[in-house]
Structures are given as C-alpha cells and as structure tokens.
Amino acid sequence: MAVGIFDSGLGGLTVYDAVSKRLPDQAFVYFGDNAHAPYGVRDADDIFNLTCAAVERLWDEGCDLVILACNTASAAALKRMQETWLPKDKRVLGVFVPLIEALTERQWGDNSPPREVTVKHVALFATPATVASRAFQRELAYRAIGVDVEAQPCGGVVDAIETGDEILAEALVKSHVEALKRRMPHPQAAILGCTHYPLMQSTFQQALGPDVTVYSQANLVAESLADYLIRHPEFKGPGTVSKFLTTGNPASVSTHATQFLRRKIAFEAA
C-alpha cells in the first residue's frame, strides 16, 4: 500500500520531495491533474468533482491514505469530502493544518481551545479560490485568537511556474507582495498557501524583507505525515518504489518536473 499525493499540477512535488526524504522507506503515488490545472481559478463544485475523481484514481492504485498536496483542493473540497463523500476505510488529509499548528506553536493533534499567540499580523499568499474559501482563517480561528490575517490572491503565479517562466513568476510575486503591503505594511509572518510557492520562496522573502518569517508547507507536512503513520501504521504498507501519474502529456510533465526538483522524475499517463 502506497500513500497517495495529489495536486492539480506540479506544486505538490514540493510536498513529495519533503515526505520522501523524511520517510525514505515509504512508497508514494503522485497524481498531477495537469490537464485541468490550475484549480485556483475554478469554482468550488468544479474543484470538488475534480479532486474526488483524482482521489478515486489513487484508491485504484491502492492508496487508502491520500494527502491533498494542493491548498486549493484542501480549502475548497476537503471539508465537503470528509463530511459527505469519504468511505470509512479511507483517509484524505489536507495541508493547511500542519502549517497552522506551526504558526500557532501547537504540537501535532493539540485540540485545546484557541488561545493568544505571539504572531498577530499574518500575510496569506494563495490562489484566488483558496482566498475566497476563507478556509485558512476558519482553521486558524479553531486554534488562535487575536490574529489579523490579510489575504492576497496571487493570480498568474501557478501558471507561470507550471510553464517554467521564472522571470514572469518573480515579477508576479513582487507585484502581489507590494499589493498586500499596501494593506498590511508590517506583517510579522507570511504563509505561502500554495504548494507551488516554495519554489519562489526566496523571491517572497526578498520582497517581504528579512524581518518577516515565511512559512512554507512541505517540511511541516512531512513531519505531520510521519507522526500520523506512527499513530496509524495500517496505512503504511510495504514497498518503497514511488510512481508518478498525470492527466497531462507525460513527456512534457516529466520534463517540467525534472527541472522543478532538479532530479529525474518520469510521469506515466493516468
């Protein structure tokens, strides 16, 4: 049994890279829905239907545990999936909670009431659909009080990253940071609320300035998954060989993925 990792495109490879290094003896199946990327400009029903189809494809590969390594899917589809759609013997986890637990200085699985935290002013950079869902603010409110969140929808950044246009991606990141800072001049922390954005982390940090703590998800998700598998060993299964599936053109996606992770990644047609 492998652990499934799903993203609308290539961004979830940042999560795959981190979890595969943290759990080198664990097999993973990565599914990129590149044919329908980006999800960040789609409506909630569309995102829900596409995400469910992708998760079912990962179940076909024997992945009873699936990580939605896509903030848009985590924000717009996960709660509805868990409440109305998910069979009792399957698990689908999102990528928001480990990030919020780190921001609010909580241990994994701490379900105590919300409390005051050190960070009061948080900048959230995410896709338009993630921002519109307000899922980050909802999850944060379960754990912390008195935190001001200013969200910036970062249109165009995922497209630029997916097509390998680093110059455009850098220009867009700087523009979005400037737009947010006009509304929140002095954020204490910044959340990169899309798994594509760690590839632009240095650009975000440079635009925000050295005094802003930038939180990226991949390593936090890896630690959370490692902890989850200790508590739920039935989802681990044998095998260490990973597999990569795409709804897009496998040759093209493989080329971009290899550039992305700077090591050879070979995708197969889903």
Please count the helices (runs of H) and the strands (runs of E) in the chain. Answer: 12, 12
Domain 97-215 has CATH 3.40.50.1860: yes
How confident is the model at residue 260, as a pLDDT?
84
Contact 265, 257 (CB under 8 A): yes
Contact 192, 129 (CB under 8 A): no
Q: What pTM value is reported for the model?
A: 0.88
Dmax (CA) for the chain in angstroms is 51
The boundaries of every CATH 3.40.50.1860 domain in the chain are 3-94+218-269, 97-215
63 flagged as catalytic: no
**Which is the catalytic residue, given 52, 63, 70, 154?**
70
Residues in CB range of 212: below 8 A, 6 or more apart: 123, 187, 188, 189, 190, 205
How confident is the model at residue 79, as a pLDDT?
92
Question: Structurally, what CATH architecture does the domain formed by 3-94+218-269 represent?
Answer: 3-Layer(aba) Sandwich (3.40)
Q: What are the φ and ψ backbone dihedral angles of 133, each rounded to 5 degrees?
A: -70, -25
How confident is the model at residue 121, as a pLDDT?
97
**Which is the catalytic residue, given 52, 63, 154, 194?**
194
Contact 14, 198 (CB under 8 A): yes
SS3 242: coil
52 flagged as catalytic: no
pLDDT values of the chain reduced to their tens digit, one per residue, 270 residues: 799 999 999 999 999 999 999 999 999 999 999 999 889 889 999 999 999 999 999 999 999 999 999 999 999 999 999 999 999 999 999 998 888 888 888 876 677 899 999 999 999 999 999 999 999 999 899 899 999 999 999 999 999 988 888 899 999 999 999 999 999 999 999 999 999 999 899 999 999 999 999 998 898 999 999 999 999 999 987 677 899 999 999 999 999 999 888 899 999 999
For residues 141 and 165, give the distance between their C-alpha atoms in angstroms, rounded to a whole number.
36
Q: Which class for 173: exposed (0-12), middle (13-18), buried (19 or more C-beta within 10 A)?
A: buried
For residues 208 and 70, give the distance between their C-alpha atoms in angstroms, rounded to a whole number.
23
How confident is the model at residue 108, as a pLDDT?
61
Q: Could you identify the residue written with the tokens 């379960």?
A: 142
For residues 91 and 134, give the distance between their C-alpha atoms in angstroms, rounded to a whole number.
23
